[in-house]
Chains A and B, each alone.
Chain A
Amino acid sequence: MSDLFNKVKKNLIWKSVFRRDYRDNVRDRALAVFGNVFLHLHPVKVRESAVKLRYTWGMGGITFLAFIILTITGVVLMFYYHPSVDQAYSDMKDLEFQVPYGVITRNLHRWGAHFMVIVVMIHMFRVFMTGSYKAPRQFNWGIGVILLVLTFLLSFTGYLLPWDQLGFWAITVGTNMGAATPLLGYQGPFSEYLHITPYNDIRFALLGGATVGGNALLRSYIWHCIAIPLIATVLMVVHFWRVRKDGGISRPQNH
């Protein structure tokens, strides 16, 4: 058996992938982290509190995991979906009856989305309760608030895509709020002084029309699948980077 191990490990291909052996010593434990592009998100050593479940609840990491699950299931769903009024709904039916594992892929995407909204709110609650927004982490809290809003918007833009009654009317109710924006919405206070109508107000810009239709579906699709994930990814990079640069997971400072 160990002969076989040696054969597998002592050849050019293995060595080209894994550049060194792992022995359980200080040097190799450190190398395991900063020699790995994914793990080097972490420092080589962390405070115990970062490992204790009772302190962070792991909520930030779980939110990130949910984002990854949603990205993967979302890409799979994109292969079977056309963002057009004629096809969107029948694509959903195809997912249900034709596509192998279509039902569970869609289920994972939907429940994962609800789950992400829940855990990101609990993450914010935890960060508040441990006072982790205090110096020097003020800026990162602000980034986090924007990421929370983007999570809502990601879910909101995804709501319309099945093109069923639920999504259609949820988006109609939601975007009607835009029409009430002061100055910029046609029903909002003071908008008449700017000659705002249903055809040039902020709601029109959101929907690409005066009602929820094909343009709104396409806009939702692009915001949902490309624009917001890109923006959120950039902000997540900043968020994680700042966690490191601001001194890691927060901890009592008075010692």
Chain B
Amino acid sequence: MNPFIEIITQPDNIAIVIMILMVSFFMVWAFQQAFQNDKLKASGYAVDGENDQDVDTYKPLVRIELLISLAVMLFLTIWSIVVDAPLEEIANPTLTPNPAKAPWYFLGLQELLVYFDPWLAGVVLPSLIVVGLIAIPYIDTNPKGNGYYTFSERKYSIIIFSFGFFILWLLLIVIGVFDRGPGWLWYWPWQEWDAHRVVFEPTRDLSNLVGVESRSLAGFIIGAIVVGVYMVGGMVWPYKYWQKKNPELLQQLGMIRYVTIVFLFITMMSIPIKMILRLVFLIKYVWITPWFNV
């Protein structure tokens, strides 16, 4: 069979195909409504829902709930009739499959293991995702866009969230499911997997670029400076910038909120940065310490 058809019709991967279709559909629907509301507002009209009246729960709401429930149950029933849940061989601790993949919704995190050590990819970054998500309402002080779709009134928050959700979370999941084969090597979905393929890809550490051994004291210091400049500079530079351009914004945020936002943001951006360093410049570690590597 064509490898592409084979990989997208594996029973568990059908869920991923359904996810891609559903997420794309709702992404388009959300942004379409957002732009529509922006247009309405720009020409002085009320946004969708602004002039809504009360309606009875029984039956308008109950009816639509019943219909959706029936549709969902019908959909799941058909899915369950057509596709059987896979059951592989009995668990065998002595036989490691290659690749050994985590459940699909954690494959974005497993994908990060290419770029970060496990303590970052598997523990620190996921914890920060949860903390960051919970923090959103407390750090987003923009009162606009509450209760309706809009883009123009919340540009930055929507762009940042969409980048995290669609690229860093969902796209990495899709890559992990469809583009990772034996040895966690990259395979296009239409390529045949080859368990004997070896890729020789010499990597280096950042300080090697200036000819310094990364495991030496000098390499340690260079790494510390680079990471320090990124973190501290990332904190200070936007502050200076906003002080000039938009001091009211800083006033409105306050110190604690500002530090939280910028810390979460530069941590998030360290993921694509590290990816580029690894993929384009073949850099494995930026900073090597006796305790951990970054």
A binds B: yes
| Chain A stretch 158-214: residues in CB contact (< 8 A) with chain B | 159, 162-170, 172-174, 176-182, 185, 187-190, 211-212
How long is the Cα–Cα vector from A179 to B117 in the complex, in angstroms? Answer: 12
Q: Which residue of A lies closest to B144 (CB)?
A: A131
Q: Which residue of A lies closest to B92 (CB)?
A: A165
Total residues of chain A contacting the partner, CB 8 A: 102
| Chain B stretch 135-169: residues in CB contact (< 8 A) with chain A | 136-138, 140, 143-150, 154, 158, 161, 165
How long is the Cα–Cα vector from A170 to B122 in the complex, in angstroms? Answer: 14
Closest CB in chain B relative to A159 CB, distance in Å: 5
Chain B residues contacting A189 (CB-CB under 8 Å) are: 119, 291-292
How long is the Cα–Cα vector from A121 to B52 in the complex, in angstroms? Answer: 27
- Are B64 and A53 in contact, CB atoms less than 8 angstroms apart? yes
- Choose among A29, A43, A146, A255 the residue that contacts B51 (Cβ–Cβ < 8 A): A255
Given contacts A115-B76, A125-B30, A174-B106, contact A107 B137 (CB under 8 A): no
A132 at interface, CB cutoff 8 A: yes
Closest CB in chain B relative to A216 CB, distance in Å: 11
B101 at interface, CB cutoff 8 A: yes
How long is the Cα–Cα vector from A148 to B161 in the complex, in angstroms? Answer: 16
How long is the Cα–Cα vector from A89 to B33 in the complex, in angstroms? Answer: 49
A-binding residues in B (CB < 8 A): 12, 15, 18-19, 22-23, 26-27, 29-30, 33-34, 46-62, 64-65, 68-69, 72-73, 76-77, 79-81, 83-93, 95-97, 100-106, 109-110, 117-119, 121-124, 130, 133-134, 136-138, 140, 143-150, 154, 158, 161, 165, 170, 291-292
- Choose among B53, B90, B117, B146 the residue that contacts A131 (Cβ–Cβ < 8 A): B146
- Are A164 and B123 in contact, CB atoms less than 8 angstroms apart? no
How long is the Cα–Cα vector from A130 to B37 in the complex, in angstroms? Answer: 11
How long is the Cα–Cα vector from A45 to B60 in the complex, in angstroms? Answer: 10
Given contacts A142-B134, A166-B86, contact A48 B49 (CB under 8 A): yes
How long is the Cα–Cα vector from A179 to B59 in the complex, in angstroms? Answer: 53
Closest CB in chain B relative to A99 CB, distance in Å: 14
How long is the Cα–Cα vector from A149 to B77 in the complex, in angstroms? Answer: 26
A6 at interface, CB cutoff 8 A: no
Given contacts A114-B15, A155-B103, A190-B291, contact A142 B87 (CB under 8 A): no
Majority DSSP secondary structure for residues of A touching B: helix
- Are A182 and B58 in contact, CB atoms less than 8 angstroms apart? no
Q: Which residue of B lies closest to A165 (CB)?
A: B88
Closest CB in chain A relative to B92 CB, distance in Å: 6
Q: Which residue of B lies closest to A41 (CB)?
A: B57
- Are B26 and A107 in contact, CB atoms less than 8 angstroms apart? no
Chain A residues contacting B55 (CB-CB under 8 Å) are: 45-48, 51
How long is the Cα–Cα vector from A250 to B48 in the complex, in angstroms? Answer: 12
- Are B103 and A163 in contact, CB atoms less than 8 angstroms apart? no
- Choose among B26, B34, B59, B84 the residue that contacts A103 (Cβ–Cβ < 8 A): B84
B-binding residues in A (CB < 8 A): 29-30, 32-33, 39, 42-55, 57-58, 61-62, 65-66, 69, 85, 89, 92-93, 96, 103-104, 106-112, 114-115, 117-119, 121-122, 124-126, 128-135, 137-138, 141-142, 145-146, 148-149, 152, 155-156, 159, 162-170, 172-174, 176-182, 185, 187-190, 211-212, 250-255
Given contacts A50-B61, A128-B161, A135-B146, contact A69 B73 (CB under 8 A): yes
Chain B residues contacting A145 (CB-CB under 8 Å) are: 130, 133-134
- Are B30 and A174 in contact, CB atoms less than 8 angstroms apart? no
- Are A250 and B93 in contact, CB atoms less than 8 angstroms apart? no
- Are B118 and A177 in contact, CB atoms less than 8 angstroms apart? yes
- Are B76 and A112 in contact, CB atoms less than 8 angstroms apart? yes
- A sample of 20 more A-B contacts (CB under 8 A), given A62-B68, A110-B85, is A45-B57, A52-B49, A61-B65, A108-B76, A109-B85, A111-B83, A112-B76, A115-B76, A162-B87, A166-B88, A167-B91, A174-B102, A177-B109, A180-B117, A187-B119, A251-B49, A252-B47, A252-B49, A252-B147, A255-B50
